[in-house]
Amino acid sequence: MLHLRLIIPAARTDEATAVLESCPGVTNIVVLPGAAREPKGDVVLCDAARESANEVLGRLKWLETEGSIAAEQVDLSLSKAAEDAVEEAPGEPDDAVIWKELEQRVQADSRVTWAYLAFLAIATQLAGIGVLQNSPILIVGAMVLGPEFGAVAAICFGLLRRKGPLIVTALRTLFIGFAVAIAITYACALVSFWLGWIDIGNLTANKEVQFIVKPDRWSFIVALLAGAAGVLSVTAGKSSALIGVFISVTTVPAAGYAAVALALNDWNEVAGSISQLAVNILGMVIAGTLTLLVQRRFWPQVGRRSSERPRRWPSPPG
């Protein structure tokens, strides 16, 4: 369930509550006349099943300029009315994509922030150390830590909705993030080389991690699967933390490998790892966009079929 808080101009409160009452999956409607001070108006509270959120937000879109809409996830709801609302709503909660929520999320993830740069730089350095130490464990840790899929998801959403500025922003975020991460890792690897801690032998001995620099058809297939899994983890109401391993695939490890190979002047390995990075990003973008397209294409049809059922109101006592 979602908990909605609406601030509505007093003259349009009846109109808004009528919308809420007519939408399947909405319950626990509370009206507080004159409670809002900025902006001024009435406060309306309600609970809505995730499956109903798009219909409610779409029909109350005018509130974005005339009032206010806020939504938050309800972790616990002990209510027969809420259970009935979820049953009335079309589809299953975990399958529902709340498009407004997704749009705000990918817009936030598409921006360059210090936290994004720090996480990506740390992840890339871990991957570089994993390459030098021939340690798959460190490489997997780098995959989990990498934050780059947020920008990939933003590109997918931008392609779906034809939002050119969002695509450009997300691409810039990916480019800047990997450029900074590779530069920092390169500098650290170069210092290690000068100190005599590493040499070209560290790259030639790492047989277990050679998949990072040898892109092939399997690399692209894995990237496609990872892109679909990543988008589903972002849009669905339920996801696993282990998905982080798959959605990063070999993007971060490839960047770490490229930085180390650059410091050791092994240009063949640099080319292979950069190719792997590009293949994985391309595969994730293609699969992620197609996943969003399928969700947008088929979810509304399920909603229309299910919402034709009449609302079930509790029978009066006695």
Summarize pLDDT for 243-295 with one digit per residue, the tens.
Answer: 554 555 678 888 998 999 999 888 888 888 898 899 989 999 999 999 999 98
Q: Say how far apart CA 123 and CA 256 lie, in whole Å.
A: 8
Residue range(s) occupied by CATH 3.30.70.120 in the chain: 2-96
CB 158 within 8 A of CB 170: yes
- The structure tokens listed for 264 are 């050791």
Residue range(s) occupied by CATH 1.20.1080 in the chain: 101-302
pLDDT at 308: 43
Q: Within 13 A of 291's CA, how many CA atoms are on the CB side?
A: 26
In the 8-state DSSP scheme, what is residue 10?
G
**Domain spanning 101-302 has what CATH number?**
1.20.1080
Q: Say how far apart CA 58 and CA 27 lie, in whole Å.
A: 17
pLDDT at 207: 64
pLDDT at 171: 96
Averaged over successive runs of 10 residues, the pLDDT of the chain (318 residues) comes to: 94 94 91 93 94 90 92 87 82 79 91 94 92 84 86 94 95 96 95 89 68 77 87 71 56 90 88 89 93 82 44 45
Q: Say how far apart CA 110 and CA 117 lie, in whole Å.
A: 12
Write the burial class of residue 256 (CB in 10 Å: 0-12 exposed, 13-18 middle, 19+ buried): buried
Three-state secondary structure call for residue 8: strand
**Domain spanning 2-96 has what CATH number?**
3.30.70.120
φ and ψ at residue 49, rounded to 5 degrees: -65, 145
AA identity, residue 194: W
**Strand pairing class (40-48; 2-8):** antiparallel
AA identity, residue 213: V
Q: Say how far apart CA 101 and CA 81 lie, in whole Å.
A: 25
